[in-house]
Amino acid sequence: MQNFEYYNPTRIIFGKDTIAKIAEHIPEHARILMLYGGSSAERNGTLAEVRSVLGGRTVQEFGGIESNPTYETLMQAVATVRREKLDFLLAVGGGSVIDGTKFVAAAVNHIGDPWEILTTHGANVTQALPFGTVLTLPATGSEMNSFSVITRSETREKLGFGSTLVYPRFSVLDPTKTFTLPLRQVANGVVDSFVHTIEQYLTYPVDAKVQDRFAEGLLLSLVEIGPKVVSEPENYDLRANFMWIATLALNGLIGVGVPQDWSTHMIGHEMTARYDIDHARTLAVILPSLLRVCREAKRGKLLQYAARVWNLNDGTEDERIEAAIMKTEAFFESLGIPTRLSAYAIGSDAIDGLIDQLETHGMTALGEHQDVTLDVCRRVLEAAL
Ligand code: NZQ
Ligand code: ZN
């Protein structure tokens, strides 16, 4: 097992009717900015519920944070916080609202151009406003991690940053608040959390026994409940399990002491930036193709994945590996998520542009061995056509 430090200060408040508890965790005299997305949180009553528990605190609201939140919109929130001298942020929404709130938290008192927070991937973040979250979409793990991904629409760039200063103080996970999700978003969440788990697991063995078993537990649980989570929107127990799985898939725990490979996400971010494809859908296209192209480097773990997640124990090694990749694709497709670029009307003419963007963003040595070069990314995209 590799050396690691593990730190996670986010308080999780889980279960039905838990929004009321946020009052205990926000200072009495806080001046709050409540941030949200489009209309979903207003329509399903979540915003009203949050407003009702904030008592006499000063509360301003900032709506309109898009999916794949934009720098341009978030800078308006930064201006509001500065103008109104607000000192606590409260995100109500999915990964986009939470990621956007993290950026606002870091940008408000940032000295210099706030876009540098993204170009330096968070290295220059020295302070951030405190914030909490009320999660309405299980998928990204943003509610319990220190990452954020922001899009600059002007340049069609999608970049991430991370800082221990942007862990949420608390996150409310009330599974009933997900009942109104469109099926497409639920399916996206299942795939996103599946791929987060895979990217911290499917590299090379380092004898990290419990991290492997944790990761396999998350994958097996997603395979077991994924289709039902989508088809039974008001099944509390399914939603509760899914919500906690998605959080655990990217709160850092399964990734400690093990190599990681975020190539699928990095290639996927360029696809979203250029073609507006939902985040999880880019992953469903890239992951199977990446596993095929990188099968030699990942052979040991692919065989473990085949045996322990898909119960594939017969045939040659290569047959088991290919069968496991096909099972993965079939799982994504069973959720209604296509796994080929052609299904998103993307042809071979798009590949040069995507490779150029990866190069511009310094994504030239990805993967657990830093050997997923631009040439390898090209092969991954070609194999996904
Ligand atoms: O905007 P509203 O009207 O609220 O609608 C949203 C949005 O259209 C809707 N929604 C959310 N909760 C709902 C609901 N609709 C009905 N009922 C509810 N309870 O769902 C739509 C998608 O929301 P969004 O927040 O964009 O989705 P998600 O949570 O999948 O977040 C995606 C973003 O997270 C980033 C992605 O790149 C993308 O920008 N990621 C963040 C990560 C992190 N911070 O660690 C890691 C991930 O890999 C990912 O990159
Ligand atoms: Zn993701």
pLDDT digits (tens, 9 = 90+) for 351-378: 999 999 999 999 999 999 999 999 999 9
User: Each residue of 20-50: pLDDT tens digit?
Assistant: 999 999 999 999 999 999 999 999 999 999 9
- % of the chain exceeding 90 in pLDDT: 99
Alpha-carbon distance of 158 to 155, in angstroms, equals 9
- Quick one: 135 and 188 in the same domain? no
Average pLDDT over residues 91-95: 98
- Quick one: 271 and 359 in the same domain? yes
Q: Is the CB of 148 under 6 A from ligand 1?
A: yes
The per-residue pLDDT for 296 is 98
Average pLDDT over residues 307-316: 98
Q: Are 34 and 141 in contact (CB under 8 A)?
A: no
Backbone angles phi, psi at 244, to 5 degrees: -75, -35
User: Each residue of 71-88: pLDDT tens digit?
Assistant: 999 999 999 999 999 999
Which residues neighbour 200 within 8 Å (Cβ) at sequence distance 6 or greater? Answer: 211, 215, 254, 255, 258, 260
User: End of a domain among 139, 163, 178?
Assistant: 178
| CATH number of the domain enclosing 139 | 3.40.50.1970
- Quick one: 319 and 305 in the same domain? yes
| CATH number of the domain enclosing 333 | 1.20.1090.10
- Quick one: 193 and 169 in the same domain? no
Q: Is the CB of 37 under 6 A from ligand 1?
A: yes
- Quick one: 244 and 127 in the same domain? no
- Quick one: 112 and 193 in the same domain? no
31: containing domain:
11-178
Do the domain assignments include residue 248?
yes
Average pLDDT over residues 121-134: 97
The per-residue pLDDT for 25 is 97
- Quick one: 40 and 127 in the same domain? yes
- Quick one: 193 and 124 in the same domain? no
Residue 95: closest CA among 255, 228, 247, 283 = 247
**Which ligand is the nearest neighbour of the Cα of 271?**
1
The per-residue pLDDT for 35 is 98
How many domains does the chain fold into? 2
Do the domain assignments include residue 3?
no
User: Each residue of 314-341: pLDDT tens digit?
Assistant: 999 999 999 999 999 999 999 999 999 9
Count of CA atoms in the C-beta half-sphere (13 A) of 315: 13
Q: Is the CB of 334 under 6 A from ligand 1?
A: no
Computed over every residue of the chain, the mean pLDDT equals 97
Tell me whether strands 58-62 and 147-152 are parallel, antiparallel or unpaired.
Answer: unpaired
- Quick one: 70 and 109 in the same domain? yes
The 10 Å Cβ neighbour count of residue 19 is: 18
**Ligand 1, from 68, 279, 281: best to mutate by most atoms within 8 Å of Cβ?**
279
User: Each residue of 172-186: pLDDT tens digit?
Assistant: 999 999 999 999 999
The per-residue pLDDT for 67 is 96
Average pLDDT over residues 142-168: 96
Q: Are 238 and 229 in contact (CB under 8 A)?
A: yes
pTM metric for this prediction: 0.97
The 10 Å Cβ neighbour count of residue 344 is: 16
- % of the chain exceeding 70 in pLDDT: 100
Alpha-carbon distance of 330 to 350, in angstroms, equals 25
Atom of ligand 1 nearest to the CA of 41: 4
